[in-house]
Amino acid sequence: MMPLEVIRVLDLTRLAPGPFCTMLLGDLGADVIVIEEPPGVGRRFDIGMSERAQAFNALSRNKRSVGLNLKEPRAQEAFLKMAEGADVVVEGFRPGVVKRLGVDHATVAARNPRVVYCSLSGYGQTGPYAGLVGHDINYISVGGALGAIGWPGTPPAIPLNLIADFAGGGLYAAFAILAALMARQQTGRGQWVDMAMSDGVTSLLASSASQFFSGGHSLERGVEFLNGGIPAYNVYECADGKWLSIGCLEPWFWAELCKALDCEQYIPHQGNRAMFDEIFAFLRGRFQERTRDEWFAELRQRDICVGPVYSLEETFNDPHVQAREMIAEVPHPEFGAVRQVGVGPKFSETPGAVRTTAPKRGEHTVEVLREAGYSKREVDEMVEAGIAG
């Protein structure tokens, strides 16, 4: 048994945030049905993705695929019939698109009042930016994160699209959907979840926002305790050109680091900015004396917050990552055992699992439409007319 195996999700999303949200639900057992355009219909950003690349695409795993051209009334009706038996609908279009397609929250809820309908967008369904197009870089700009990443006097450093797309968007949406499902147990009713990625980014800044609201402190690049401004919480290049991360914020961890590096004179000056230039110079020179892995092997034996800065190859070769089962293998009929990232949360009684690789586009159209009550003849007619496929 898996935690969400009784939950059926209809997934209308594209690109990263929505598919990551439904991947998380699928990993925990939800029956995720992706609604895609039939072959030859619509625009797809992943045009040209090889079958092998698709097999390794974790965002599409544990899902079934149905091809429906939602610009056609019969396809809209087919979706609504599917929604009658669904627990969750997730869409990631710009505000107003699902209404034009006839599959908006009001229309779906009229057929299924218990449905949890999540609209995941850049700026939400309301507000002056609601209609703006955008990507992670734009959402972390408006949300308040990008301006605090980087070094003083330099442009903001652009991170991978983890903060808005995956954390403030996909992960936050999955959390909100599960909360709405819990509420449904109490009320018997579903609801509409309006999840803006920019809102998610700002929410992730809760601690920093508290400092701003209480004392007017606004984050600056590279000068804060947690974004590179202090020696105790920083990265250092080692003799082999690789980097080591130090996170000794607590005084006792800092003291232990200073003892290990033979610089006990700096123990009282952990937060003394007047001494930072001297401390930085010493630590940078000291870490140049050995390789990254030599330093990690030594310092990890003591009560010191230390970690090697890994490439992805190093991460997946790390014995701890492997022991935590963060590499999953799933069989594929053509490519054999396909490796993907593992399931994050570990459950003692109802663990999640990677069960299937990404489906082919429209692979389950007939199967799912038959489950929705259509006869084989009706499905064949829709396929022949290009409405389904």
Q: What is the pLDDT of residues 178-210, one digit of tens each?
A: 999 999 999 999 999 999 999 999 999 999 999
Give me the mean pLDDT over the 17-32 stretch.
Answer: 98
Give me the mean pLDDT over the 9-25 stretch.
Answer: 97
Give me the mean pLDDT over the 63-73 stretch.
Answer: 97
| Superfamily holding 233-317 | formyl-coa transferase, domain 3 (3.30.1540.10)
pLDDT (tens digit, 9 = 90+) per residue, 237-261?
Answer: 999 999 999 999 999 999 999 999 9
Give me the mean pLDDT over the 120-149 stretch.
Answer: 97
Q: Looking at this protein, which amino acid is placed at residue 364? A: H
- pLDDT at residue 40 tops 80: no
Query: Among residues 135, 293, 303, 318, which one is catalytic?
Result: 135
- pLDDT at residue 134 tops 80: yes
Q: What confidence score (pLDDT) does residue 42 get?
A: 58
- pLDDT at residue 121 tops 90: yes
Query: Among residues 27, 165, 194, 199, which one is catalytic?
Result: 165
Q: What confidence score (pLDDT) does residue 54 get?
A: 87
Known catalytic residue: 11?
Answer: no
Arithmetic mean of pLDDT over the chain = 96
Those residues with Cβ within 8 angstroms of residue 313's Cβ, 6 or more apart along the chain or in another chain? none
What is the topology classification, in CATH, of domain 8-204+325-384?
Rossmann fold (3.40.50)
Range list of β-strands (E), 233-305: 233-237, 243-247
Q: What confidence score (pLDDT) does residue 48 get?
A: 53
The reply to whether 8-204+325-384 and 233-317 are identical in fold is no
Domain ranges of the chain: 8-204+325-384, 233-317
Q: What confidence score (pLDDT) does residue 43 get?
A: 52
Q: What count of other Cβ atoms lies within 10 Å of the Cβ of residue 155?
A: 9
* R_g over Cα of the chain: 25
Known catalytic residue: 135?
Answer: yes
**Burial of 149 per CB tally in 10 Å (0-12, 13-18, 19+):** middle
- If you count them, how many residues does the chain have? 389
**Burial of 225 per CB tally in 10 Å (0-12, 13-18, 19+):** exposed
Q: How confident is the model at residue 92 (pLDDT cuts 50, 70, 90)?
A: very high
Q: What confidence score (pLDDT) does residue 240 get?
A: 98
- pLDDT at residue 357 tops 90: yes
Q: What is the pTM of this model?
A: 0.95
Which helix (H) or strand (E) element contains residue 262? none
